Amino acid sequence: MDGTQTYRGDVCRITASNLTIKGVRGRPKIDAGGKNADGKGTWVITGNDVTVDNVEMFGSAVSDRNGAAIRVEGNNFTLRNSFLHDNENGVLTGASPTSRLVMEFNEFGHNGNGDGYSHNVYVGQVASLVFRHNYSHDAHIGHNLKSRAQINMVAYNRFSSLNKGETGSTAAGKPSYEIDISNGGNAYIIGNVIQQPAEHSNSNMLAYGLEAPGKPGDKLYVINNTFINDAHAGTFVLIGDKVTAAALLQNNFFSGKGNITNQQRATQVTNYQGTEADFVNRAVYDLHPNDNRRVINAGAEPPKLESGISLVPTRQYKHVAAGEPRPVIGALDVGAYQTVIVQESKKPWYNILKN
């Protein structure tokens, strides 16, 4: 598809498997234009092993108010380098116990029809979701990410929304949860920026297992994230009361008011709760830590898991919808960003070097 063009009403069912759809010469714009495929959305993908790369999609709306820019009904889907905004759902997937999904380097903004049941991204009961280096923001009443996958790797993303007076790539939204891992399972939440705006539809930020029956072996790992609560109250990590395993919360930076978690048996290691004054420049999302010995080099090495999955953050989010290596310097800092320390005789003992 040609990135110099806008495709209005370009709706279709995609049945082919092992297919890549990619925008070239820029990012093509696909405007649903009041049309839909099968009453479900703009592109309904029933083929397996499909990749969509470098497209902008908006305007998806259907009669039951559950339309999606991309409706995934086949197995194994990848979305990258794309911008999905102002749809009833950005991505909406079906359920398949063998399907594996990857979404990386995408922006999702202001999706949702306002009923709280439609979202920027809604993943059904699939085998696994890898969600990394994305910018998901301003969901319209719904969640910035909702997933029922059995395994969720959510790493190095930014989940945020505009506060009053701010401008962005979409209109402001009033999201519910920033991340909702509804069914529990194994969830790895690593190196994310997770912000709740002052105006929101739910005072809690990361939800886990609220709709789960409580399955043995399910585990939540929340490692080296930076949480920012611009509201006056709330819970940073809300865990369903039927979840039996203790969550691990380690090396997280919790900024603002609120309870860290409602799970009394959660394991908490070297976390820090502070204020926006602890960041280099909160207003522009430079969330490298200021000179704070409870943050810089204060993190503990995450445990090694029998599964072989590493909990050690190796990258960090870079705006917009990108990433960069996390510097390997001394011990881990608390939070989503590592500070580079430079000792110079004629300058203060440290400088924050921006990448």
What is the phi/psi pair of residue 273, to 5°? -115, 120
Distances from the Cα of 28 to the Cαs of 31, 72, 312, in angstroms? 10, 20, 37
Cis ω before 312 (30° cut-off from 0): no
What is the phi/psi pair of residue 276, to 5°? -65, -15
What is the phi/psi pair of residue 93, to 5°? -115, 155
Half-sphere exposure of 46 (CA within 13 A, CB side): 8
| DSSP category for residue 123 | E
pLDDT at 341: 64
User: Rounded CA gap, 80 and 85, in Å?
Assistant: 14
Three-state DSSP class for residue 282: helix
Report the helix count and the strand count for the chain, using DSSP H and E. Answer: 0, 35
Three-state DSSP class for residue 284: helix
Q: Are 17 and 50 in contact (CB under 8 A)?
A: yes
User: Rounded CA gap, 280 and 55, in Å?
Assistant: 34
User: What is the pTM for the complete model shown?
Assistant: 0.95
Pairing of strands 315-318, 322-325: antiparallel
Q: Which two tokens stand for residue 220?
A: 């939540």
User: Rounded CA gap, 223 and 200, in Å?
Assistant: 25
- Return left, alpha or beta for 234; rule: phi > 0 is left, psi -120 to 50 is alpha, else beta: left
pLDDT at 168: 96
Q: Are 158 and 137 in contact (CB under 8 A)?
A: yes
Tens-binned pLDDT, residue by residue, of the chain (355 aa)? 887 889 999 999 999 999 999 999 999 999 999 999 999 999 999 999 999 999 999 999 999 999 999 999 999 999 999 999 999 999 999 999 999 999 999 999 999 999 999 999 999 999 999 999 999 999 999 999 999 999 999 999 999 999 888 999 999 999 999 999 999 999 999 999 999 999 998 999 999 999 987 788 899 999 999 999 999 899 999 999 999 999 999 999 999 999 999 999 999 999 999 988 899 999 999 999 998 999 999 999 999 999 999 999 999 999 999 999 999 988 999 999 999 865 444 344 334 444 4
User: Rounded CA gap, 200 and 192, in Å?
Assistant: 19
pLDDT at 342: 54
Distances from the Cα of 179 to the Cαs of 152, 268, 312, in angstroms? 11, 20, 20
Q: Are 112 and 88 in contact (CB under 8 A)?
A: yes
